[in-house]
Amino acid sequence: MKTSTIAEAKNNLSQLIHSLETEEPIHLTRYGKPVAVMMSESQYKHLISPTKSLNSAILNWRSQLDYSADVSLSDKELKSMRKESAGREFSWDE
């Protein structure tokens, strides 16, 4: 993600706004630490738009996945996360 200091943003605001129309959001920093994010109106609307259903949320999430990135867990990592116990007792009745 592109970054800009607050001072640079004040001096180049119109240029940054034009770049937001075609590029990704911009992190604004103060003393080297991110404090805000500038984004285009379309990115903002997409971010706040309500999801119609759980299924559409999952499909939307899947469409944004980067399948070329290696983020899978090994069998050893998965086994270390899983508990060996049979689970807990559950009943819908009180």
Average pLDDT over residues 82-88: 72
CA distance 20 to 34: 17
H helix runs in the chain, sequence order: 6-11, 13-20, 41-48, 54-63, 75-81
pLDDT tens track for 19-73: 998 889 999 999 999 999 999 998 998 888 876 788 888 888 888 887 777 767 7
Domain locations in the chain as residue ranges: 1-44
Q: Contacts from 51-55 at CB under 8 Å and sequence distance 24+?
A: none
pLDDT value for 74:
80
Residue 12 has a pLDDT of 92
Answer whether 40's CB lies under 8 Å from 21's CB: yes
Contacts of 38 (CB under 8 A, 6+ apart): 9, 16, 17, 20, 25, 26, 28
CATH number of 1-44: 3.40.1620.10
* pLDDT at residue 51, rounded to an integer: 66
Q: Which residues pair with 29 in a beta bridge?
A: 5, 34
